[in-house]
Amino acid sequence: MNNLLAIGFVGTVLLYSSLQPALAAPERKVSVAGECTLEVEPDRGSVVLVAENTASDAKSAIRKATEQHEKLRSELKRSKLKGLELSTSEYNVHEQFQWENNRQVSKGYTCRIGLKVVTPEIPALGEVLAMAGDAGIRNTQGLQTYLSEQKMLEEKKKCLEGAAKNAREKAEHLVKTLGARLGAVLQIQERGAAMPGPMPMVAESMAFADKGMARGAAPTIEGARQTLRLEVDISFAIEP
């Protein structure tokens, strides 16, 4: 019987010892949110220029639109724009109909060929618009400025550094107010960032095409500054 009591006592002591970590005092820490807001300059501008023509037959409509498209494309390739990127945004041929005397009447065929122009030289987009006018293109779409992926990553790194410093400043102020000292970093977590998207600009159909707009009169396009916001949650140990 005495042996059984001894074993039971030892078992109780061991169980109590194993529970000690769980019964220990809670971790002394402070958790804060660090914030950053940056105003950044866009480094890319783009515009879509659409050669659009209507003719009595599809072949003629395609030929006229293609001539305008190729004229503009060749002119752009000869230009001195740095980092120029060209891509086809659309190619569409369809028959036009109009309802007359209770029936649909064909009014010819329309061909649309879109050329997307991207350049890091945002002010020079005005020159691009003037080239489009010289080529007889009247349809302008999607004029916008934005941050390239590379610049977005660079600006995000800067903002993360700023948010981390902001978090430490907040935490230091809190613990100092309560008569304690800030310890080591325990945990860091990035929140979802508000990343700036493309900034659209108002760009109406280009009525200057038939007027032979002078290259010297090309408008200078200005890119709007964009806002990058992000937050980080950081926990610090508190030292007495």
**Nearest one of 197, 54, 58, 203 to 128, comparing CA atoms:** 203
| More confident of the two residues 132 and 209 | 132
CB burial of 13-25 (b: ≥16 within 10 Å; e: otherwise) equals eeeeeeeeeeeee
Give CA–CA dist 103/12, Å, rounded.
97
Mean local confidence (pLDDT), 164-177: 96
Does pTM top 0.85 for this prediction? Answer: no
How high is the mean pLDDT of the chain? 85
CB burial of 29-65 (b: ≥16 within 10 Å; e: otherwise) equals ebebebbbebebebbbbbbbbbbbbebeeeeebbebb
Cα-Cα-Cα-Cα torsion 35, 38, 42, 48, nearest 10 degrees, comes to: 50
pLDDT in tens, 72-99: 999 999 998 889 999 999 999 999 888 8
pLDDT in tens, 8-46: 444 444 444 555 555 555 678 999 999 999 999 999 999
Phi and psi torsions of 3, nearest 5° = -60, -40
Pick the CATH number of 44-147+200-219 from 2.40.40.20, 3.40.50.2300, 3.30.70.2970, 3.10.580.10: 3.30.70.2970
